[in-house]
Structure 1
Amino acid sequence: MRPDHPIVLITGASSGFGAATARLLAAQGCHLALGARRVERVQALADELAKAHGIRTFAGAVDTRHTASVDTFVAEAAEALGGLHVLVANAGLASGTFKLWETPDEDLEAMMRTNVEGVVKTIRAGLPHLRKAGWGHIFFIGSVAGHQAYEGGGVYCASKHGVKAMAQSLRLEVCGEPIRVTSVDPGLAETEFSNVRLKDDSKAKAVYQGMTPLSGGDVAECIRWCLALPDHVNIDELIVKPTDQGSAFKVHRKA
C-alpha cells in the first residue's frame, strides 16, 4: 500500500537532477535519503530540506562504482529512515567527446562503471527494502542518447542504451509485484553535466547557447508526476526534450 509520505533514496543528489528532485519531493512531504561522492553538499541539502519542510532526511557518501559503498549507504539509509519506498538511480556522467577508438580507459571505465554498473548496484541493494515495504517505485535516469547514437558519444550512448535495456528488463522481472519501474530520458538539460563532460566551463556554456534547455527542475517534475499517478498506472518510459531540440543532434538555435 502506498504510504502517505514515501521514503525516497536518490543517488547523485549533490547537484543537477538529483538535487532538484530532492527539493521537489521534499515539498511534497517525502522523506529523503540523499547520497553522492560530495557528501558535504548532500548533507547541507538534507539539513536545509529537513528544516524547511519538516521531513526526515539521511545524507551519506556513496560512490556507485563500488559495491561496498552502495551497500553501506543503502543499508544505513534504510535503518535511519525506517525503510525505503522509492529509488532514483540518478548518479551518472559523460566524460569526453572522443571517437570510439580514441576513448581512454579512464573515461571508458568512468562511464560504464557509473552509468551501468552503478545502477545495477543501487537497485540490487535497494530492491529488497521496497519488497519489504510492500510498495515501491524505481526510477532510472536515462537519456535521449539511449535512443539515438551520435558522433563523439559512442561509449556514453552505449551506457544509456544499457540503462534503457535494464529498465525494460526490470519492468518485466517485477511485473506482478507492487513495484513500478520508470525510465526518465532527458535531452539537453543545463546542469553540471557538460562541465563534467567537457572539463571547460566556457565550452559547457556554449552547448546551450541560442536555445532554451531543460532545467533540473523540469526533469524533477517528470519524476514527481510519474510518482503521483495512481498505483495501476506505470509510465514505462518518458522521453523529454526542450522544444528547441528535435533529436539528439538537431537543435534550433536563435541567432
Structure 2
Amino acid sequence: MRPEHPIVLITGASSGFGEAMARLLASQGCHLALGARRVERVQALADELTKAHGIKAFAGAVDTRHTASVDAFVAEAAAALGGLHVVVANAGLASGTYKLWETPDEDLEAMMRTNVEGVVKTIRAGLPHLRKAGWGHVFFIGSTAGHQPYEGGSVYCASKFGVKAMAQSLRLELNGEQIRVTSVDPGMAVTEFSDVRLKDGDKAKAVYQGVKPLTAFDVAECVRWSLMAPDHVNIDEILVKCVDQASVHKVHRRI
C-alpha cells in the first residue's frame, strides 16, 4: 500500500516542473530527494520546504548524463531518507530549432543523453529501492512532442517519442509488481524551457505571446493526482495542453 508519507526522488528539481512538483508534494506531506546540476538551488529549496512543511528533504548534485553521478545521488538520497517510493525522471531539455541535417553534435548529444539516457539511468538506479520498499511509482515526464513531431524539432521529438516508448515498455515489464508507471506529457508550458532552447529571452517570450499556457504547477498537479490515486489504479498516460493549444500546430493567440 502507498505509505502515508511517500519518499519522492525528483531530478531536474532546481526550476520549472521539478521545483513545482517539489513544492506541491511537500505540501501533501511527501518527503523529498531533490537533485539537479545547480545544487545550490535545490539545497535552498530543500531547506525552505523542510521549514515550511516539516518534511524530510535531501538535496544533492546530479548530472543525469553520467551514470556515476546518478548512482551516487540515488544511493545517498535513499540512505539519508531511509528508502525511496517514487522516482520522477524529470530532467530534460530542448536545444535549438534545427532541421535534422543542421543539428550540431553538441545539441544532438545534449538532448539524447539527457532526455533518453538520463531517464534510463535515473530509473535504473531508483528501481531497486522501490522494489525493496514493496510499493512504488515511476513518473516519466514526456511531451506532446512525443505524440506529434514538428518542424525544427526532429531530435527533440525523437527523444520524447523515446520517453513514451520507455514508459510503455516499463509498464509491461513491471506488470505483476506493486509499482505503478505514469507518463505526464505536457504541451506549451511556461518554464525555463524556451529560454534554454532558444538562448534568447525575447524569442522565448514570443513563444507564449497571446496564449495562456500551462504553468509548472498545472503539470505538478498531474503528478500529485496520479500519485494519490487508489492503489489498484494506474494512470498510464496524461496528455495535457492548455485550452489555447489544440495541437502542436494549432494554437489560438489573442493578438
TM-score, shorter chain, exceeding 0.5? yes
Matches of 2:209 and 2:2, distance apart in 1: 43
Q: Which residue of 2 aligns with 1:136?
A: 136
Q: Which residue of 1 aligns with 2:245?
A: 245
Matches of 1:112 and 1:250, distance apart in 2: 27
Distance apart, 1:133 and its partner CA:
0.1
Match of 2:189, SS state, is coil
Distance apart, 1:101 and its partner CA:
0.1
Q: Which residue of 1 aligns with 2:39?
A: 39
Distance apart, 1:147 and its partner CA:
0.2
Match of 1:184, SS state, is strand
Q: Which residue of 1 aligns with 2:55?
A: 55
Task: Render the CA deviation track for 1:151-193: whole Å, top value 9, x for unaligned.
Answer: 0000000000000000000000001100000000000000000
Q: Which residue of 2 aligns with 1:192?
A: 192
Matches of 1:138 and 1:16, distance apart in 2: 19
Distance apart, 1:65 and its partner CA:
0.1
Match of 2:139, SS state, is strand
Matches of 1:102 and 1:86, distance apart in 2: 38
Matches of 2:224 and 2:2, distance apart in 1: 15
Distance apart, 1:55 and its partner CA:
0.2
TM-score (norm: length of structure 1): 1.00
TM-score (norm: length of structure 2): 1.00
After the TM superposition, which residues 57-206 of structure 1 pair with which residues of structure 2 at under 5 Å, given as runs? Answer: 57-206=57-206
Distance apart, 1:75 and its partner CA:
0.1
Distance apart, 1:249 and its partner CA:
1.5
Tell me the C-alpha RMSD between the 2 structures.
0.3
Distance apart, 1:239 and its partner CA:
0.1
Q: Which residue identity does 1:118 align to in structure 2?
A: G
Matches of 1:41 and 1:3, distance apart in 2: 28
The number of residue pairs the alignment matches comes to: 255
Match of 1:109, SS state, is helix
Matches of 2:141 and 2:4, distance apart in 1: 24
Match of 2:156, SS state, is helix
Matches of 1:152 and 1:43, distance apart in 2: 36
Matches of 2:23 and 2:2, distance apart in 1: 21
Runs of 4+ in structure 1 off by over 3 angstroms are: none
Task: Render the CA deviation track for 1:62-97: whole Å, top value 9, x for unaligned.
Answer: 000000000000000000000000000000000000
Distance apart, 1:2 and its partner CA:
1.4
Matches of 1:76 and 1:107, distance apart in 2: 30
Matches of 2:230 and 2:3, distance apart in 1: 13
Matches of 2:248 and 2:23, distance apart in 1: 28
Tell me the percent identity. 84
5+ residue gaps, structure 2 = none
